[in-house]
Amino acid sequence: MTYAARRRFPLVVVTVFAVLLSVVAFLPRAALAADDDEGGTGTLRQKLDAAATGYNNAKAKVAASQKRQKALIGEIAETEKRLTTLTEDAQRLGAEAYKGGMPDPLTVLANSGSAGELVAKASYVDTIARQTSETLKELRSTQTKLTNQRQQVEQELKVQKAQEKTMATRRTEAERALVQAGGGDSSAGFLSGTSAAAQPAPRNSDGSWPSESCSIDDPTSDGCVTPRMLHTYNEARADGFTHFTHCFRQASFGEHPKGRACDFAADVGGFGGVATGDSKAYGDRLAAWGVDNADRLGVLYVIWFRQIWLPGSGWKSYSGDGTPSGNHENHVHISVQ
């Protein structure tokens, strides 16, 4: 390389570096948001995921059991009504047989004075006997049916009790994990109760959430999301939460690389500093929306402004890494099952 070339080389490097800096400076904050750290540890996220998923699954089983109990109670009422009718019929037939003497067939043949009388008496005996036999047969089967239905209700109550115990265990596990991570205290949180109702995400026939993979193009990145996460994203936008959002992100842990989480920026254009004013109010409303629609969307947890909402536990304090992103002071994190 000539001397002149060597002199030009540092100038070229400096020029290129300056251009790169200017490009980065003019990049919208949205483009940089995907690299922001989420805060929390892999162990914490894993524990929260397992605990919240277990809680939601148990809650779905409780709801399904209660639904079956309600149906069974309705069936029991109908069975008891039919049993009362059959008992009255059996008593009536017994009374008729008693009043009529209810002779056996041989006695009818011996005491009949004519063929017509024989036919009439034999027909009466046959009719009463047949009605009595059919009534008693149905009466016995109905009693058995009622016993089985009551046993099913008892079994469903056991299922409900077991799942409620699981819910309590999972809730304790989640809260313990938060405490170990330096948070977990009860907090005021962000609740409204007046959020627009999102369209429910599809469930299995038993009320549980189907297992989903990261199989759909993420509209916010080059990655993927699950069908349920895309549904949540679309419902949020339909309800007016249209600020910058980023979902899929490569990471070693958490729900983002699984396509089960989205970060909803408080600012319109992307992740900035600590949200204030309208941006803070926007985040408050969005966090409340996620909680209000948790059952409809299969939400695992919501994180916003150093607080986390977990199913069964409510809002708790959350320790990040001290940055606006790690503390979730500039975006609302929503994870779904």
Is 291 in the same domain as 324? yes
Instruction: Examine residue 25 and state whether it is found in any structural domain, yes or no.
Output: no
Residue ending a domain, among 156, 178, 200, is 178
Q: Is residue 255 part of a domain?
A: yes
Tokens representing 297 are: 């969307």
pLDDT at 205: 85
Is residue 100 domain-shared with residue 231, that is, in the same domain? no
User: Do 187 and 332 lie in a common domain?
Assistant: yes
Same domain? 191 vs 169: no
* Phi, psi dihedrals of residue 98, rounded to the nearest 5°: -65, -45
Contact by Cβ (8 Å): 79, 141: no
pLDDT of residue 122: 54
Query: Into how many domains does the chain fold?
Result: 2
CB 266 within 8 A of CB 278: no
Q: Is residue 88 part of a domain?
A: yes
The structure tokens 């919208």 sit at 28
Is there a domain that residue 56 lies in?
no
* Beta strands, E only, the chain: 216-217, 224-225, 245-246, 261-265, 299-304, 307-310, 314-317, 331-336
In a domain, 22, yes or no: no
Q: Let me know: does 266 contact 30? Beta carbons within 8 Å.
A: no
* Contact status, residue 212 vs residue 86, Cβ threshold 8 Å: no
Residues of the chain with pLDDT under 70: 1-39, 96-128
Instruction: Give the pLDDT of residue 38.
Output: 65
Q: Is residue 259 part of a domain?
A: yes
- Measured between alpha carbons, how far is 155 from 250 in angstroms, rounded to an integer? 45
Say how far apart CA 236 and CA 287 lie, in whole Å.
Answer: 11
> Radius of gyration over alpha carbons of the chain, in Å?
35
Domain boundary among 162, 178, 194: 178
CA 275, CA 330: separation in Å to the nearest integer? 5
Tell me, yes or no, whether 167 and 192 share the same domain: no
Q: How far is CA 56 from the centre of its chain?
A: 5
Q: Based on the domain organization, do 189 and 262 belong to the same domain?
A: yes
Is 230 found in the same domain as 160? no
Q: Report the amino acid identity of residue 336.
A: V
Check residue 314 and give its pLDDT: 93
For residue 319, the model assigns a pLDDT of 84
Residue 69 in contact with residue 202, Cβ under 8 Å?
no
* Alpha-carbon distances, residue 24 vs 15, 32, 160, 325 (angstroms): 14, 9, 56, 19
Whether 191 and 163 map to the same domain: the answer is: no
> Which domain does 66 fall in, by range?
61-178
Is 77 inside any structural domain? yes
pLDDT at 46: 87
pTM (2 d.p.): 0.71
Pair of tokens at residue 13: 């490097």
Q: End-to-end CA distance of the chain: give it in Å, rounded.
A: 61
Query: Do 199 and 163 belong to one domain?
Result: no
Q: What local confidence, expressed as pLDDT, does residue 86 receive?
A: 84
Task: Give the end of a domain, one of 131, 161, 178.
Answer: 178
